[in-house]
Amino acid sequence: MDDTQPMVDFLRDRYRDRIRTSENIHSAVVEGRIPALDGDRRKHAGFTLQSVHEAQSMLELFETTIVAHLGTAGPMGAIAEQQLRVLARPFL
């Protein structure tokens, strides 16, 4: 996994940053620092909370289905490496 470690670290940081950003936006909506869409703070908070959960899910999916299998023998390791490279490609 030596040549893939920088990609893992980069993507992991991106996913964590996305979680932090989503959490900050959610907090700002709940606390009234960002105006609610259509004046419905509860509805807007629901949308922003969904964004937090989506960001958390992406990191969990990345860790459990890609990172956990990198460097393993056989098809799972090869597929994990291919998936990693596909996810990193837009940033290369």
> What is the full DSSP assignment across 14-31?
HHHHHHHHHHHHHHHHHT
User: Does the pLDDT value for residue 50 go beyond 90?
Assistant: yes
pLDDT tens for each residue of 2-48? 789 999 999 999 999 999 999 999 999 999 999 888 889 999 999 99
Token match 């964004």: residue? 51
**80 close to 66: Cβ distance less than 8 angstroms:** yes
Give yes or no for a contact between 55 and 13, defined as CB atoms under 8 angstroms apart. no
Are 35 and 42 within 8 A, CB to CB? no
